[in-house]
Amino acid sequence: MSDQFLAPDEEETTPGISIRNLYKIFGPDAGKHIEAVKAGMGKADLNRKYHHTLGLSDINTDLPAGKISVIMGLSGSGKSTLLRHLNGLIMPTAGEVLIDGQDVAKMSPAELRVFRRNQTAMVFQKFALLPHRTVMENVVYGLDIQGVKRADSRDRAAHWIQRVGLKGYEERFPSQLSGGMQQRVGLARALTNDAPILLMDEAFSALDPLIRVDMQSVLLDIQKEVSKTIVFITHDLDEALRLGDKIVILRAGEVSQQGTGEEIVLHPANDYVNAFVREVNRGRVIRLRSVLKPKPAALDWPQLQLPGNTTLEDGALALLPAPESLATVLGRNGQPRGVVSMDDIMRGMLVRTA
């Protein structure tokens, strides 16, 4: 397999959230045991010897601004704990959470209130709607807290209610809505607050599969318009691969691997990650830039041109009318970078890392 997906013409992203040397120990004397954990004491030994729980251990990652970062892992991996550090609902035992140069862990209670109110919004798995409020009243709730006049807040809310597909339901109560519709209300409420950071904790996990896919599409479409810094928590790799510009996989409170979905599928770092990616539909994740080959000197560049970020699945469809031919693979600057054949694409879809 080629490693051309790391080529320098790929877009570099600015960190929106930087997490540095982050540790979280749960227990009454957490600070007393941080050095032991830094020296290598694991979760089991910490619990057995000191009756404390290790939630997060030496987390270091940059979550790009204006992109969707997915934090995933099995139950107990620490993903929700990590998310709650981003808005100060949980404070670290050690380490930094830097947002626009500010360390959330060092904010005063007053600064935290302003930060949560203006800089972050959250979408929950269980919707967290107020049952005695209508859709419109739920969506403007955050703006009510900020003191925004109802005339202004209703206009903003109406826009996002329509955008998530709930126009006409403004005066309904949560009990009159399906689960998928309730989650749309939660998403509209978060977007109406207009915070630059959107935190989504297993936001679609309680939904039926078809509704879940529909909500993923809604989120992706809206993100094209608003380009928020979104941190999305899930235990589902398919969801992570569909949504995530960057994926951080946690295991027992530690980062097991991080990178793009393509990097993770092509090069799983360990058996834990390999177990996740083994049954992934590679054709929907891997891009042509990862399987291209140099153009033979004797050939002209093929007339069929495809962007390097085209998935293998879409590349195969493009080549299907003439499966014996080649396609030119273009870089981000529109210049030819190599060629690809149907055979290259099929190998990319089928060859799996052991």
pLDDT at 262 (0 to 100)? 94
The count of other CB atoms within 10 Å of the CB of residue 28 is: 8
* This prediction's pTM: 0.88
User: Which of these CATH numbers, 3.10.129.10, 3.40.50.150, 3.90.1280.20, 3.30.200.210, describes 284-350?
Assistant: 3.90.1280.20
Residue 142 has pLDDT above 50, yes or no: yes
77-135 pLDDT, tens digit each: 999 999 999 999 999 999 999 998 899 999 999 999 999 988 999 888 777 899 999 99
> What is the phi/psi pair of residue 125, to 5°?
-65, -40
Q: Is the pLDDT of residue 65 over 80?
A: yes
Q: What is the pLDDT of residue 13?
A: 57
The helix or strand, by DSSP H or E, that contains position 209, with its residue range, turns out to be helix 209-226
Answer yes or no: is pLDDT of 4 > 80.
no
Q: Give the pLDDT confidence of 303-323 residue by residue, as tens digits.
A: 999 999 999 999 999 999 988
CA 86, 88, 92 angle in degrees (round to 5)? 85
Q: Give the confidence band of 354 by pLDDT, cuts at 50, 70, 90.
A: very low
Q: Cα(188)–Cα(138) distance, rounded to whole angstroms?
A: 9
Comparison of pLDDT for 78 and 207, the residue scoring more: 78
The DSSP secondary-structure symbol of 10 reads S
**Tokens read off for 13:** 């992203």
SS3 of residue 216 by DSSP: helix
Angstrom distance (rounded) from CA 82 to CA 257: 15
What backbone torsions phi and psi does residue 248 show, to the nearest 5 degrees?
Answer: -120, 115
Q: What is the mean pLDDT of residues 11-40?
A: 89
Domain ranges of the chain: 62-84+109-280, 284-350
Cα distances (angstroms) measured from residue 323 to each of 65, 106, 283, 301, 342? 40, 59, 16, 16, 6
- Dihedral of CA atoms 261, 263, 266, 268 in degrees, nearest 10, equals -90
Q: Tens digits of per-residue pLDDT, 41-63? A: 999 999 999 999 999 999 999 99
Reply yes or no on whether the pLDDT at 345 is more than 90. Answer: yes
Contact between 129 and 174 (Cβ < 8 Å): yes
Q: Name residue, tokens 């190599």.
A: 338
CATH number listed for the domain at residues 62-84+109-280 = 3.40.50.300
- Helix (H) or strand (E) segment spanning residue 20: strand 15-26
pLDDT of residue 14: 63
For the CA atoms of the chain, what is the radius of gyration? 23
Say whether pLDDT at 8 is over 60.
Answer: no
DSSP 8-state assignment for residue 75: T
Q: The sheet that has 326-330: what strands, in order across it?
A: 305-307, 326-330, 336-341
What is the reported pLDDT for 87?
93
* Contact of 61 with 259, CB cutoff 8 Å: no
Q: What is the pLDDT of residue 239?
A: 94
Find the range with the poorest average confidence among 6-10, 20-24, 279-283, 307-311. 6-10
pLDDT over 80 at 5, yes or no: no
Could you report the per-residue pLDDT of 257-276, keeping only the tens digit for each?
999 999 999 999 999 999 88
Share of the chain above pLDDT 90, in %: 78
Q: Is the pLDDT of residue 139 over 90?
A: yes
Contact 347, 281 (CB under 8 A): no
The residue ranges of DSSP E strands in 202-354, in sequence order, are 229-234, 246-251, 254-259, 305-307, 326-330, 336-341
For residues 55 and 23, what is the distance between their CA atoms, to the nearest angstrom?
7
The string of pLDDT tens digits covering residues 208-246 is 889 999 999 999 999 999 999 999 999 999 999 999 999
Write the CA distances from 44 to 21, 37, 47, integer angstroms.
Answer: 20, 11, 5
Q: Are 99 and 16 in contact (CB under 8 A)?
A: yes
Question: What pLDDT, on the 0 to 100 scale, is given for residue 15?
Answer: 66
